[in-house]
Every structure is written in structure tokens, then in C-alpha cells.
Amino acid sequence: MASDLLPSLLTGAFALGGGLGGVLLTGWITRRNETRRLAAEDSRRWLVDRRHAYAAYLTLAQAMLREIDSIAVFLSYDGAEEISEEDESIIRDGLTEYYRRWDDELQPALLEVQLMATPGVSDLADRMSGALMEITPVIEMRDSFTDYYPGWFQARDMFEVLRNTMRAELGLPASGVRSFPVTDESWPWLPDRPSRESYIQVHPKRIPEAVEGPGITPPSPEAHKDRQKNEGSRNKPARRSGTRKRGSSRSRG
């Protein structure tokens, strides 16, 4: 009789062991999947935080490049002209605000980047911060604009290197955005789109009809053109003189 119960006991034991093993295996798989899910979510959050920090730093650095350029245009172009009192005041106040922004805004943004970035990006971000300060002594000494703008372009190139390195770290291809100086005369227009000339519309000039009557001869087209020319010269405002047109680094090269 004992021999008859043995198969049943063995079957029950194997069934119990199999059920217990299945429960343990299912629990292990569930825990592993949950661990992977949490790791993926952490990775996504880390990527999002890093992207926000990088974007904020690049935006601020680009704004400061524009800001220092807007100050430098008040320098004497080649050093031959004296800086007026009004321009001197603009330069002085502009540099004060620029230094404040470098200390109070750029440096905290740099620290946030360095907390999340790889050593390569961290080093480039620090170099970008230094470049923005390195181009100020020329303005501080009131040197010429021609002495200033090569350093501005060098800082702009550093910005491009930093941006592409950040994009690579975020898993993106290098940026195709072109910076100054631009050598292609057609830029920024797309070469495969209609040109500016294609939008020009030709409107024929209308000649007023003359009042006909006894002894009245309608004016000829040539006479009408001469009259328009004379009226235009009388109505043309006097040309203003003494206004000096300024440029910027983005128009030099």
C-alpha cells in the first residue's frame, strides 16, 4: 500500500516545488523589469535635466556675445577718431552690466553644467566663460574696433565647438547652423527657392488725361516725365549730414 502512495507523494512534491519555483522566478523577473524601468526613467530624467542646463548655458553665452558686440561698436573704428562723451558713457555703463551678468548669471549656469557634464563638455564650458571675459580688455582700454573683432570671432568659434560637443553628448548630430563670417553671398536665402527679383512686379506709369478744349494741346509723355521729375526734386527733403553709420563684428571679416 505504501508503494501505491509513493507516486502520488512524488507527484505532489514535484508540483509543489514547481509551483514554488515558478513563484520565485516570476518574482525575480518582475523585480528585474522594475529595476530596468526605474533605471530607464532615471536616465531619461538625467538627459532632460542635462539638456535644459546645456540649453540655458548656450542661450546665455550667445546673448553675452551679442551684448559685448553692441558695446564694442561705440569704439573708434581704427583708432583715428576720438570717442565722444556720449559713446564713452555707453561703453562704461555697458561694460558694468556685462561684468555683472558674467558674475551673477553665467557663473551659476556654468556650475550647473559642470555638475552634469562629462569632463570634455565641462572644460569647454569653462573655456567659453573665459573667452567671454578675455575679449573685454580691448574695450576696457578703448582700443580700436579693428583690434576687437578678431577676438570676438574667436569666441564665437569657441561657442560653436561647445554647442556641437554638447549635442554629441546628448546623442545628436553636429549642428548645421552657420555662424559669421558668412562667405556665401546667397545666405541666408535658400538656393532652391524663388529669388528676390522674382517678386518684383512691373507697374506701368499712368499719365493723367489732359483737358481738351479750344487752343489746348495734350501734354506729351516726355513733358509729363519732366514735370514729375521737377516736382520730386522740390518735395525731396534736405539730406542730413553728420550721422556716422556704425557696424558690428557680424559685418566685419
Q: What is the pLDDT of residues 139-153, one digit of tens each?
A: 999 999 999 999 999
Give the number of other CB atoms < 10 A from CB of residue 89: 12
Q: What's the whole-number average pLDDT of the chain?
A: 78
Residues near 218 by Cβ (< 8 Å), separated by ≥ 6? 209, 210, 212
pLDDT recorded at residue 118:
92
pLDDT at residue 101 greater than cutoff 70: yes
Among 4-13, 160-169, 201-210, name the most confident range.
Answer: 160-169
Percent of the chain scored above 90 by pLDDT? 46
pLDDT recorded at residue 242:
41
pLDDT recorded at residue 45:
76
Would you say how long the chain is, in residues?
253
Percent of the chain scored above 70 by pLDDT? 59
Q: What mean pLDDT do residues 73-97 have?
A: 94
